[in-house]
């Protein structure tokens, strides 16, 4: 299985990147081919809503790094998306990533729906400073439903909470839990 990870955090080595990498590590240990991307190291511009991606060739006109991510995503059977929660919702980088999925993913009722892209496995790793993992549950559920509407197969959503009070990188039980999610995804 080919799995890509995408950390939608502006911090290249923060808690979100660590969570994505831990899930990918578990998948890799169970035979998956993995690749990791970070919004922090990419030039990703917001969607312009020009609808050029709805034309025959379905290509985005924005000249940035997203076409490379699209190519990687098309080759993958699964995506691990790390979503930092800022101000009660996903980071600006995560929103850009989601909006820029439009050339590849659309709801089944949309004229731009592409059956070949439907059913891609997805694990969402939400990362937040607040220690209460249920605080943003409504938003987490909303985001999961957004991806289901785009025809992703949402396999798991995990909330990594309390990143301000303790270094997640030092939490062995959490690391093992995230690796187990990756192992299950690779199976």
Q: Are 55 and 46 in contact (CB under 8 A)?
A: no
Q: How much is the pLDDT for 9?
A: 97
Rounded to 5 degrees, what angle do the CA atoms 173, 1, 160 make?
A: 25
Q: Are 21 and 11 in contact (CB under 8 A)?
A: no
| Residue for token pair 């299985």 | 1
Q: How much is the pLDDT for 35?
A: 98
CATH number at residue 61: 3.40.50.360
Number of domains in the chain: 1
Q: How much is the pLDDT for 158?
A: 98
- Length of the chain, please? 187
Q: How much is the pLDDT for 109?
A: 82
pLDDT in tens, the chain (187 residues): 999 999 999 999 999 999 999 999 999 999 999 999 999 999 999 999 998 888 877 788 999 999 999 999 999 999 999 999 999 999 999 999 999 998 888 888 887 788 888 899 999 999 999 999 999 999 999 999 999 999 999 999 999 999 987 788 888 999 999 999 999 999 9
Q: How much is the pLDDT for 55?
A: 80
Q: How much is the pLDDT for 117?
A: 84
Q: Are 104 and 67 in contact (CB under 8 A)?
A: no
Q: Domain range for residue 122? A: 2-186
Q: How much is the pLDDT for 106?
A: 82
Q: How much is the pLDDT for 128?
A: 96
Q: How much is the pLDDT for 115?
A: 84
Torsion of CA 30, 32, 37, 38, to 10 degrees: -10
Q: Are 185 and 28 in contact (CB under 8 A)?
A: no
Q: How much is the pLDDT for 145?
A: 97
**78 forms bridges with which residues in the sheet?**
3, 121
């Amino acid at each position: 299985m080919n799995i890509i990870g995408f950390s939608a955090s502006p911090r290249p080595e923060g808690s979100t990147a660590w969570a994505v990498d831990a899930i990918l590590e578990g998948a890799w240990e169970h035979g998956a081919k993995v690749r990791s991307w970070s919004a922090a190291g990419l030039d990703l511009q917001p969607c312009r809503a020009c609808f050029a991606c709805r034309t025959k060739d379905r290509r985005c006109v924005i000249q940035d790094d997203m076409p490379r991510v699209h190519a990687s995503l098309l080759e993958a059977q699964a995506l691990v998306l790390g979503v930092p929660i800022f101000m009660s919702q996903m980071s600006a980088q995560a929103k850009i990533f989601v909006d820029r999925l439009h050339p590849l993913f659309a709801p089944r009722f949309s004229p731009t729906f592409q059956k070949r892209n439907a059913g891609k496995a997805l694990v969402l790793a939400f990362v937040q400073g607040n220690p209460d993992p249920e605080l943003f549950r409504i938003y987490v559920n909303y985001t999961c439903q957004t991806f289901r509407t785009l025809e992703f197969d949402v396999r798991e959503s995990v909330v990594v909470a309390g990143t301000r009070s303790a270094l997640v990188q030092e939490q062995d039980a959490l690391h093992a839990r995230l690796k187990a999610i990756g192992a299950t995804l690779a199976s």
